[in-house]
Chains A and B, each alone.
Chain A
Amino acid sequence: MKLKTNLFGRTYAFRDVKDVLAKANEEKSGDMLAGIAASGNVERVAAKVVLAEMTLQELRENPVVPYEEDDITRADQNAVEDIAYQKIKGYTVGDFREFLLGATEAEIAAIRPGLTAEMVAAVTKLMSNMDMVYAARKMHVEATCNTTIGRPGTLSSRLQPNHATDNPAGIMASVLEGISYGVGDAVIGLNPAVDTLDSVADVLKEFKAFMEKWQLPTQNCVLAHVTTQMKVLEKDLAPMDLMFQSLAGSEVASRAFGINVALMDEAYAIMQEKKSSAGPNFMYFETGQGSELSSDGHHGADQLVMEARCYAFAKRYHPFLVNTVVGFIGPEYLYDGRQMIRAGLEDHFMGKLTGIPMGCDVCYTNHMRADQNDLENLAMMLAMADCNYIMGIPGGDDVMLMYQTTSYHDVAALRRITGKRPIAEFARRMQELGIFDEQGHLTEIAGDPSLFYALDKKLAGGIAV
């Protein structure tokens, strides 16, 4: 394996595959914090040059965390299908980039089972932002729960009605307004402030009752810890269409999240038996660059390759939704809007290349050097990349998690800008409720949560929800 090159009269030598991967990464404050980033622009490019000549076989044989030490490495390596792998193992990473840019959707789908996380991350380090958007558009990944997400021409949204204290009336207020903007076809999903069985079960029931009353074809979810959700299922406390968990890219980092592969296997099995949803895809995962370093579980590897390993972990459970929460972790990992935009495009591209139905929580915290314009830029780019879904929240302000993500208005505007629509059944229902017109655009009465009051009066003379 060649680990050296000359650039502009200087020699650049790298220690091993992990070192090449780290130094070839685009600039991220998290890699600098970890002390593994390239020391300058030329060294970064030198690492990319060396990486471009590395073969996919060399990457498979050098996972950043050894097979013996890590359950995620084992899950990823054991899932590789040999026929697909044989076709691509001789590619250099540079060849692989060109293959992805030139191939058809079907050709990419055919080699996908031969990939490992390290290959996915490696090629991403050679892709420019537009390369990633261009290639992602050829990688549609559909998944089916109650409805099917990821079809070309759709842009779905998670309705995220978070509340400071999980007050049911307050949560439902945000749900009503969200639906009135046509938001919520991916899932109505709450990040709970209170992680108790009763509270989680109550919200799940509330969402399901609302979906049934208004015949909304979507999914319910409460994003509590997976062990809490398992207990809700075991005790048959509430209907659950989607089961949620945050994932990390190594066994050590997963421990900080209170999970491992065996526990997730168990959770998946319980959910398969007890879920209230129809389809074969019923898991929901969130990830985000940098979480491995924050729990000292990065094994000296860069945050991009650790993120790709989250997707290998997610893939095992055939999820319905996966999204990176790209700017949530803070400036010590993604410093500013530029790094956040790059990471959002990388994560979406890597997820799609891995074969999972990828969305993105396009977001930032107040201590990042980022603002609303950065968020809107990334959201528009991801809509062009055919990202499966984004978040929808009142006014872009999460009053529980204290960060900013995409708003109900952003979802509606992105659909109008790109001509995309929600999942077909959901769009049809929006039209029946008078929220969408025939073109799928918001009507005069949309954006008003009290439209449900008028509908209720018209339907039954009752009180609105």
Chain B
Amino acid sequence: MREKEEAGFVRDISQPEIKDKILIESPQSLEMVKRLKKSTNARLGVGRAGDRYKTETLLKFRADHAIAQDAIWTDIDETLIDEMGFYKVQTLVQDKEEYVRRPDRGRVFSSETMEAMKRDCIHDPDVQIVVADGLSGFAINANLKDIYAIMMDGFAEKGYRVGTPIFVRYSRVATMDKISEALGATVTIQLIGERPGLATGESMSVYMAYKASSQKPESQRTVVSNIYQQGIPPLEAGAQVVHLTEVLMREKKSGVELKI
């Protein structure tokens, strides 16, 4: 940090280690405050200016909120999706604004889209992969490449027939049921951007279901969440997903019906 300041930069408050800094002026026991802070990622030991935050605390919070808002309101950059050759569809939603206000429209496709998918995509795959922007396109771009490679290697090794990889724009989780029904998939796996927490706009979830169906309750889904570099790293999550896929295939069920 110091070198950068000397090079004419104001220090970068988005660095994660800033959260570890103790800002209390002359605490009774610095050792104890350090120990307490290690036990939680809550914003402890920040001290105060009168009864308010110190400037650094205030600005760090604002920065963390700003990046979370950008993760939500920025349309996903589809360069990577295109490079990886995904089949692209969109729900009934037309823009981010509508996406946020109308969860119902983010769960379904037009009949034209459904017909096109049936026409263009592989039917009856063992594994159907669906990538959805959800509430954070950043999360997809941060994790997709790593997790996808591991998953595809794993599925190839098991000899699973993998369907056409589909990307859904403005998608809620439930689109996986529609796609599963349209294509007759055995296991459907959806990678979706989570609702960002402060400074965690890159967190992704994976929802999986055996013969996913809009007739079944939400509890049909098995979930791996918190996938990002500081949470469950995407490579590790990919290995988990491959393992879970095997379990779903073997047990012929998923979600709460599966006591793993």
A223-240 vs B: 1/0 string, CB under 8 Å?
Answer: 000000000000000000
- By beta carbon, the residue of chain B nearest A29 is B101
Contacts of A464 in B (CB 8 A): 29, 32
Size of the chain A interface, CB-CB below 8 angstroms: 46
Given contacts A397-B61, A409-B52, contact A174 B28 (CB under 8 A): no
A42 within 8 Å of B by Cβ?
no
Contacts of B40 in A (CB 8 A): 163-164, 167, 169-171, 173-174, 399
User: Are B28 and A395 in contact, CB atoms less than 8 angstroms apart?
Assistant: no
Q: Which of B24, B41, B51 contacts A399 (CB 8 A)?
A: B41
User: Are B44 and A453 in contact, CB atoms less than 8 angstroms apart?
Assistant: no
B123 within 8 Å of A by Cβ?
no
User: Are B39 and A169 in contact, CB atoms less than 8 angstroms apart?
Assistant: yes
Output the least CB separation between A39 and chain B (Å).
16
User: Are A404 and B198 in contact, CB atoms less than 8 angstroms apart?
Assistant: yes
B197 within 8 Å of A by Cβ?
yes
The CB with the most chain A CB atoms within 10 A, among B48, B51, B61, is that of: B51
User: Are A448 and B36 in contact, CB atoms less than 8 angstroms apart?
Assistant: no
User: Are B101 and A32 in contact, CB atoms less than 8 angstroms apart?
Assistant: yes
The CB with the most chain B CB atoms within 10 A, among A171, A177, A416, A450, is that of: A450
B130 within 8 Å of A by Cβ?
no
Q: Which of A169, A177, A331, A442 contacts B44 (CB 8 A)?
A: A177
Tell me the chain A residues, 145-167 only, with Cβ under 8 Å from chain B.
Answer: 161-164, 167
Contacts of B135 in A (CB 8 A): 367
- Interface residues in chain A, defined as those with a beta carbon under 8 Å from any beta carbon in chain B: 29, 32-33, 161-164, 167, 169-171, 173-174, 176-177, 331-332, 335, 365-367, 371-372, 393-397, 399, 402, 404, 407, 409, 412-413, 416, 442, 445, 447-451, 453-454, 464
Lowest 10 A-B CB distances belong to which pairs? Answer: A395-B43, A170-B40, A173-B36, A402-B197, A454-B28, A450-B29, A170-B39, A450-B32, A413-B51, A412-B51
11 A-B pairs whose Cβ atoms sit less than 8 Å apart in the complex: A170-B42, A177-B36, A177-B44, A366-B198, A367-B135, A396-B43, A448-B27, A448-B28, A448-B47, A449-B32, A450-B27
- Interface residues in chain B, defined as those with a beta carbon under 8 Å from any beta carbon in chain A: 24, 27-30, 32-33, 36-37, 39-48, 50-53, 57, 61-62, 64-65, 68-69, 72, 100-104, 135, 195-198, 200
